[in-house]
Amino acid sequence: MKSVLFLAAEAAPFIKTGGLGDVVGSLPKELNKRGMDARIILPLYNQVKEQKKQMTFLGSITVPLGWRNQYCGLYQLEKDAVTYYFCDNEYYFCRPGIYGYGDDAERFAFFSRAVLEALPHIQFVPDILHCNDWHTGVVPVLLKAHYHKEKRYEGISTVLTIHNIQYQGVFDVVVLGDLLELDKTAYFADPALYFNGKANFLKMGIEFADLLTTVSPSYLEEIVTPQGGCQLGDLLKKRSQNMIGIANGVDYDKYNPVYDKAIYKKYSAQSWEYKAENKCKLQQELGLAVDATIPLIAMVSRMVDAKGFSLLTESLEKLLCMKVQLVILGTGEAHYEEFFRKAAAKNPQGVSVSTVFDENLAHRIYAASDLYLMPSLHEPCGLSQMMALRYGSIPIVRMTGGLKDTITPFSETTGEGNGFCFSSYTPGALLEAVAQALKLYYDRAVWGKLVTNAMNADNSWDHSAGEYFKMYSRLE
């Protein structure tokens, strides 16, 4: 049975900014249920320090990083049947937030090298190092360059999952020598390390990892094209025989309206009518007009272009004329936050905007809403639409990436399907999909069938973990 160490910049429940954190925090648990030994290693961020007292200190190591030797403390913690390791260096990781610093190349080069140096000291040398996104993309090349002659590293394979091709970790080319210590003769002439004259951490992982995965089958199809590959499409196409698209799943223990303590009234697919009670309670909490019959549309999302907020700003006036309420939870680009705050101030009984991160409020929104809007410009997989399905909030999505793999248009004729879809990134297409949904919303018998379909859809990690299990077996 294979053993796997997940390397990532974030993982729930310790630290997350988006889907990457949810996936890394959920998948290893499911793999362990299948008999694998899957563990996770993370930076010890300032936000995680409060849990340090619960951790076991394993010792400290020195990590070579160019001309420097840097301290790294190693800690271990067992949580939810998963073993976590943490790499501690206060200079790199005790800061507000986890991304967006001028020395991110150095910070994540340090973490990547620290993981490899740590293996003999954590008493766990895995069969597979599973890297995630650009933050750990240099690990496959570091393993080959610095550790291939050491017996304890023999036989270790590498997997790289691309969660979002738009974020690649592109830095000045000097990092190849100054941080990664790659030999000029052996590596600097290798075009695999370069990207438009820069060093590209994600591209290195794509070139050197044994296998590549993406977070949905449709996203794989998109990123091997010139349009969707963000200048790496041709390279990914060359490696297509070593790539597989596996849709993410949702932690069904965490997202379960039958047991969810964060929502007002628990319910199941058989008692979905209790959503109306959740709706009235949320309306009251957010200061909206309390009306169980009005359609409530929700978004729990980062307010950025990729999530379709440019389309929503163009559509908002006509959308609100459809006699709906709109609830948005999330933070993002300042101009979007300001736009929707003004919209809420203008129509306080019809629009609520909360520019915060509030996990419990997110659960209440899923439970209370009738419709869940995801007009994404790009969506590698998407988790929110699957969470919405779990709570019987019917997704209205643009057909891109993983949204195509998880949402099936509802058919009144067959009674099959779990949502509403549109293709064109235009206000007209979005509003037409909303109008279609509202037409069925007022036919309660049909709507009940649709809600039941949504809540009975299986987007747990069970199937996806099985696909990863088969993928790992290819690495002999």
Q: What is the CATH number of the domain that holds 134?
A: 3.40.50.2000
Picking from 102, 110, 118, 103, the residue whose alpha carbon sits closest to that of residue 136 is 110
Q: Is residue 258 part of a domain?
A: no
For 259-273, how does the pLDDT look when each residue is reduced to its tens digit (9 = 90+)? 999 999 999 999 999
Same domain, 447 and 468: no
- What is the rounded CA–CA span in Å between residue 171 and residue 180? 12
Q: Is residue 415 part of a domain?
A: yes
Same domain, 321 and 237: no
Tell me the residue range of the domain where 399 lies. 269-458
| Predicted model pTM | 0.93
Same domain, 370 and 243: no
For 421-463, how does the pLDDT look when each residue is reduced to its tens digit (9 = 90+)? 999 999 999 999 999 999 999 999 999 999 999 999 999 999 8
Q: Is residue 347 part of a domain?
A: yes
Same domain, 59 and 184: yes
Q: How far is CA 430 from CA 56, 418, 426, in A?
A: 52, 17, 6
Q: Is residue 382 part of a domain?
A: yes
Q: Does 13 sit behind a cis peptide bond, omega within 30 degrees of 0 on the bond before it?
A: yes
Instruction: Provide the pLDDT for residue 190.
Output: 64
Q: Is residue 261 part of a domain?
A: no
Instruction: Provide the pLDDT for residue 173.
Output: 87
| Side chain identity at residue 102, one-letter code | G
- What is the rounded CA–CA span in Å between residue 77 and residue 51? 9
Same domain, 225 and 315: no
Same domain, 108 and 82: yes
What's the total number of domains in the chain? 2
Q: Is residue 145 part of a domain?
A: yes
| Three-state SS annotation for the chain | CCEEEEECCCECCCECCCHHHHHHHHHHHHHHHCCCEEEEEEECCHHHHHHHHHCEEEEEEEEEECCEEEEEEEEEEEECCEEEEEEECHHHHCCCCCCCCCCHHHHHHHHHHHHHHHHHHCCCCCCEEEEECHHHCCHHHHHHHHCCCCHHHCCCEEEEEECCCCCCCEECCCHHHHCCCCCHHHHCCCHHHEECCEEEHHHHHHHHCCEEEECCHHHHHHHCCCCCCCCCHHHHHHCHHHEEECCCCECCCCCCCCCCCCCCCCCCHHHHHHHHHHHHHHHHHHCCCCCCCCCEEEEECCECHHHCHHHHHHHHHHHHCCCCEEEEECCECHHHHHHHHHHHHHCCCCEEEECCCCHHHHHHHHHHCCEEEECCCCCCCCCHHHHHHHCCCEEEEECCCHHHHHCCECCCCCCCCCEEEECCCCHHHHHHHHHHHHHHHCCHHHHHHHHHHHHHCCCEHHHHHHHHHHHHCCCC
Residue numbers of the chain with a pLDDT score lower than 70? 184-190, 192
Same domain, 245 and 295: no
For 58-97, how does the pLDDT look when each residue is reduced to its tens digit (9 = 90+)? 999 999 998 889 999 999 999 999 999 999 999 999 999 8
Instruction: Provide the pLDDT for residue 72.
Output: 98
Q: Is residue 384 part of a domain?
A: yes
Same domain, 73 and 196: yes
Same domain, 239 and 224: yes
Cβ contact 421:412 at 8 Å:
no
| Side chain identity at residue 162, one-letter code | I
Same domain, 317 and 216: no
Same domain, 356 and 446: yes
Same domain, 285 and 434: yes
Instruction: Provide the pLDDT for residue 184.
Output: 64
Q: Is residue 99 part of a domain?
A: yes
| Side chain identity at residue 116, one-letter code | L
